[in-house]
Structure 1
Amino acid sequence: MAQDSVDLSCDYQFWMQKLSVWDQASTLETQQDTCVHLARFQEFLRKMYEALKEMDSNTIFERFPTIDQLLAKACWNPFILAYDESQKILIWCLCCLINKEPQNSRQSKLNSWVQGVLSHILSALRFDKEVALFTQGLGYAPIDYYPGLLKNMVLSLASELRENHLNGFNTQRRKKISLPMSAVVCLWLRHLPSLEKAMLHLLEKLISSERNCLRRIECFIKDSSLPQAACHPAIFRVVDEMFRCALLETDGAPEIIATIQVFTQCFLEALEKENKQLRFALKTYFPYTSPSLAMVLLQDPQDVPRGRWLQTLKHISELLREAVEDQTHGSRGGPLESWFLFIHFGGWAEMVAEQLLRSAAEPPAALLWLLAFYYSPRDGRQQRAQTTVQVKAVLGHLLAMSRSSSLSVRDLQTAAGQDTDTDPRAPAQQLIRRLLLHFVLWAPGGHTIARDVITLLAHTAEITHEIIGFLDQTLYRWDRLGIESPRSGKLARELLKELRTQV
């Protein structure tokens, strides 16, 4: 490390002298010398950036008192600045000099100076005399040179945005270099590959991170800037289509569904913050569904009185059933399109089973249908009717057991039909497992047998992950809606912690 520091200091003095000579860049000799040394100078700038990014502004000037002069000489040299790679590295170095929170007038002046130099770099794309001289010397006409330069700059910036998101600019010590949201939106609207790469990077991050942790997923999603950018319908449609592909490729994996729901929640928060009134019609975001259904789903359960949750769910069921089963008023996308819309809104979708178990009255047919549709959207009308009958019978047994003074795992197993040889991966079995898990969290006597029930259910790694996802998602939703009871919340957290140590 010490040798590297000495080498950088020696190189620094060498290039400072070179830049002073290159100030007279109008002579043929200096132009030729600049072109000969440009690759080595770029390598020096990269090493300089690696050193600068590890220091704060004060330390930088203690070690390199004339760093501002060196960077200024480089930024005003047309032969250096005409190469987009040099522009990019110079921007990195200049941003290292910025004080995020200036403490005195000297630091404020330095920030203003850096902003001025950055403006100069960005304005170098204009048809000024010096760059024209450079392009003519290379044999390029400006009309040929500038589109290529602009394309390379955009590609470099898109690549850098992705790499910065992957590696960060030493985020433990410094804020990352970032673009204003308006600039990010403009970039993604004009350069589709950069938007696709940002979305793919988000999905890679979610896959490689801890499974079934919605708080972590929420942080990743917000850091990606995608929910804010998705306020523009064109960006939303691209992002949503990529989520749809991920959902189809994983055959409706619960983790992908949960991610879509968290993204939608972040998107709606950004939309509310940006637009007090919708600038775009809902049809532009959800073109394949009826506006009335979208309007109902867009209601945040937090904004609806709890006494009306059941009524709202019934209304959602009626609108969905009309779209799915009524051929005269069906949506253009069919059942899967309606299901894809419904799963976006986890606040409502994940509430159905809970509401059925907490209601003492006869289970409403509308909610039974909604639950069957949510877990098995590909079923036809007859299959869904059979699932509804099965779920109603299980609910009846569970509600009767909730009034019992003593509960046993065997009784619960029999009531739910879990002692049969039915494929545990079948959608109906997943639905019944959800009912059992809701039951042990809410039923007065369910807490005493909760661990035994989970031991019974979690007989494969896949189902164990499913249960972990359910507990994490339930706690996340309770926290948002403020509907958690102390005992149920404590039990859910204990179970979640215990299961995570097993996988």
Structure 2
Amino acid sequence: MAMVTPMSQSLDSWLNKAVEWDQGNLIESQKDICLHLPKLLDFLLQFYETLKHMSPSSSVEKFPCVGQFLGRLCWNNFVVGNEETRNILISCLSCLQSGDPKNAVELQANCWVQNLLCHLFSSSETFSHTDSKPADNLGCITADYHGKLLKNIISLWIKQIKNRKPEDQDCRNNRLFAEDIHALSIRCIPILILPDIIPLLEALLSYHHPEPKEVLDGLFLDSVNDAVLRKKILLSESAVLSLWLRHLPSLEKAVLDLIQKLIAIFYKSFKEMEQVINDSFLPQAAQHPSIFRIADNIFRNAILETDGNIKILTVIWMFTRCFSQIYRNNNTQDRFPLKAYIPWCDRSLLMALLRDTLGLPPAVCLQHLHSITKMLKILTKDARSPEHVFECWFLLIHFVDWVDIAAELLMTSECEISNDLLWLLAFYYNPWNGNQELSKTMAASRTVLDRLLKLPSSTLICALTLEEIFEEGKVVDCHPCTLQLLRHLFVTFLVFFQECNNTAKAFISHMTQTQEAASEVSDLLTRTVCRLSISAVKNEKLINIAQELLHNS
């Protein structure tokens, strides 16, 4: 039973009044409505403020008679004859619309709400357009009249928008038409979720006025973006792209919304995270350089604000992967050059990092990594400021696969330990390393590598041996960034040289005694599973080992 509240009591009182108006004498009811209309409007405004913070099911549970109350008011011509009252009724009804109906009851409720919205919206336009026709001329029964009329009105508006050529009109008419478009965008806000209005929304979003000032209302653009992000409406890709290009706050909200969604499902499933990214339409929209640069700048700020949080780094890597796949598959002539997306970086380094790792033989990867490291060394040595070093590191984050391959080659290559590969790992974990700090990091990682590579690969290694090697590396340099690098080497060793057994699980626990360390190891294993899963020759054994270690990390 719904709890009785002052709002519930007021609702009951106004429902009784609405019943009285419906059943009373027409003239007397009209007089009484005129007398009570200001107080009714005040109540509806308060009621709307309550409903907009509740879900449709919660609203019905708390106010069981809400449907009967709003329905009676919507069909009372004297009540909806007042524009303010009609508009607040539209807003209240919109709060009762389920964005994702779960059952037949919610579907039926949505249908009821949409019929009332069509009735209110179209009835307000009946005398505004010469194309409006009585029900018999529209070829429909009375019950369908308002739905048919709404479609008729929307078709007329779309025709006016599309046929309008602002450049052919004088300045005064342009200004007047801009005011009409602005007013129309405001009128669409309460009924965004009506399926019939989608073509009108897309027509408005595709309309561009010759003056630089945005002609569409800001609240309209915010509301459309919110409905798109919450999957309440489904617009064409071109309409969403137009929305984000013309309204920066909407794009920023979309990127931040994506980051939050990915962090919420972090480590659940790489495929699930990839699906969320592609479903957001941001990698597709980012094929436009302006969209990419804005999204990338938000990622950059997220790194700075979170002090390089590992989850943010992974989000950037995954987004870049999705973006790159789409870019590579686009072989059309209208494709933008890569320099347009990341104009601040060295072109040679960008092209080297963009090279697809899929199917590259180890020898080719090793040679390519030497080239990448050489370019990074030159760029960071000649860096004019810490900001310039950050930009080099930020670019490397987008293509962290190369860092993981470097760690793998250090473990699996039969050549002697490469200083270039060690330097690349050291740079990734601490790009601001001074010469002394860099030497200590390199020495610690080399100590660990020497010991690990001397371990016999044919026998199982006990956890105490691995712990001893890890602690030996910490003695050389226990800087947090060096410990991150050491964990990277050990994770690579466990995946490529050990079965997933109690020894591996016990050592993972030893390395991940803090939440931050556990996140780092999980991130490494997630990337490893992803890379092994899409390689030219899938190694199911290695994938299973990485997945089991991920499950136990």
After TM superposition, the structure 1 = structure 2 runs for residues 262-411 of structure 1, keeping only pairs within 5 Å, are: 262-276=318-332, 279-302=335-358, 304-326=360-382, 334-403=388-457, 405=459, 407-411=461-465
Q: Which residue of 2 aligns with 1:46?
A: 94
SS in 1 for 2:407: helix
**Matched length:** 439
Name whichever of 253-262 and 400-409 sits farther off: 400-409
Query: Separation in 1 of the partners of 2:500 and 2:70?
Result: 72
Q: Of 535, 543, 553, which residue of structure 2 is paired with 1:481?
A: 535
Aligned counterpart, 1:29: none
TM-score (ref. length: structure 2): 0.67
- Are residues 275 and 190 of structure 1, via their aligned partners in 2, closer, same or farther at CA, if it must alter by over 3 Å? farther
Matched ranges for 1:487-502 at <5 A: 487-499=541-553
> Hey, what's the Cα distance between the residues in 2 that align with 1:3 and 1:460?
45
Equivalent in the alignment of 2:37: none
1:10–1:304 Cα change, 3 Å: same
**CA-atom RMSD in angstroms:** 4.3
Q: Aligned AA for 1:46?
A: S
What pairs with 1:66-215 in structure 2 (closer than 5 Å)?
A: 71=118, 74-75=121-122, 77-78=124-125, 118-122=154-158, 142=176, 145-146=179-180, 148-149=182-183, 152=186, 153-164=216-227, 168=230, 176-210=232-266, 213-215=269-271
Contact persistence 1:230–1:236 (CA under 8 A): yes
When residues 16 and 254 of structure 1 are mapped into structure 2, their CA distance, relative to the original with a 3 A threshold, is same
- The 3-state SS of whatever aligns with 2:274 is helix
SS of the aligned residue for 1:288 comes to coil
Provide the C-alpha distance between the structure 2 equivalents of 1:112 and 1:354, rounded to a whole number of angstroms: 65
Does 1:226 find its partner at 2:282? Answer: yes
TM superposition shift of 1:38: 2.0
CA shift digits 1:86-108 (9 cap, x unpaired): xxxxxxxxxxxxxxxxxxxxxxx
Q: Is the contact made by 1:356 and 1:363 (CA closer than 8 Å) also made in structure 2?
A: yes
Please give the secondary structure, in 1, of the residue aligned with 2:455: helix
CA distance in 2, matches of 1:151, 1:188: 16
Shift of 1:147: 6.9
Deviation of 1:43 after TM superposition, in Å, equals 4.6
Structure with higher RCO (Cα < 8 A, 6+ apart): 1
User: Cα distance 1:115–1:218, how it changes in 2: closer, same or farther (>3 A)?
Assistant: farther
Structure-1-length-normalised TM-score: 0.73
String of CA shifts for 1:110-150, please: whole Å, max 9, x gaps: x999876644455576999xxxxxxxxxxxx9378447537
Asked if the contact 1:300/1:347 (under 8 Å) is kept, the reply is no
Change (3 A) 1:49 1:437: closer
Cα offset for 1:484? 5.2
Q: CA deviation at 1:350?
A: 2.0
- Kindly indicate whether the alpha-carbon contact (under 8 Å) linking 2:448 and 2:472 is maintained by their aligned counterparts in 1: no
Distance of aligned partners of 1:40 and 1:148 in 2 relative to their CA distance in 1, 3 Å threshold: closer
Aligned counterparts of 2:420 and 2:447: Cα–Cα separation in 1: 15
Quick one: which amino acid aligns to residue 256 of structure 2? L
CA distance in 2, matches of 1:448, 1:34: 75
Which ranges of structure 2 fall in alignment gaps of 5 or more residues? 1-59, 130-146, 165-174, 187-215
Change (3 A) 1:42 1:394: same
Among 240, 245, 265, the residue aligned to 2:296 = 240
Q: Give the structure 1 partner of residue 200 of structure 2.
A: none
CA distance in 2, matches of 1:302, 1:319: 22
Structure 1 window deviating more from structure 2 (148-157 vs 385-394): it is 148-157
Instruction: Label 1:68 to 1:289 Cα distance change in 2 as closer, same or farther (>3 A).
Output: same
Distance apart, 1:263 and its partner CA: 0.4
Name 2:518's counterpart in structure 1. 464
Q: Post-superposition shift, 1:286?
A: 1.4
SS in 2 for 1:301: coil
Q: Which residue type is aligned with residue 485 of structure 2?
A: L
Summarize the Cα distance change of 1:2–1:497 in structure 2 as closer, same or farther, 3 Å threshold: closer
Judging changes above 3 Å, is the alpha-carbon distance between structure 1 residues 36 and 186 closer, same or farther for their aligned structure 2 residues? closer
Amino acid at match of 1:473: R
Which residue among 495, 505, 511 is the counterpart of 1:441? 495
- Counterpart of 1:135? none
C-alpha spacing 1:3/1:280, structure 2 compared with 1 (3 Å): closer
Cα displacement string for residues 455-477 of structure 1 (whole angstroms, at most 9, x for unaligned residues): 32122232223222222222122
Contact 1:75 1:121 in 2 (8 A): no
Distance in 1 between the 2:496 and 2:362 partners?
17
Amino acid at match of 1:375: Y
Aligned to 2:314: 258
| Greater mean deviation of Cα atoms: 330-339 or 392-401 | 330-339
Rounded to whole Å, the distance in 1 between the matches of 2:362 and 2:527 is: 20
Cα pair 2:90 2:117 within 8 Å, conserved: no
Match of 1:100 in 2: none
Once residues 346 and 406 of structure 1 are traced to their aligned partners in structure 2, the CA distance between those partners, rounded to angstroms, is 30
Amino acid across the alignment from 1:379? N
Q: Is the 8 A contact 1:440 1:447 kept in 2?
A: no
Matched residue type, 2:467 = Q
CA shift at 1:296, angstroms?
1.5
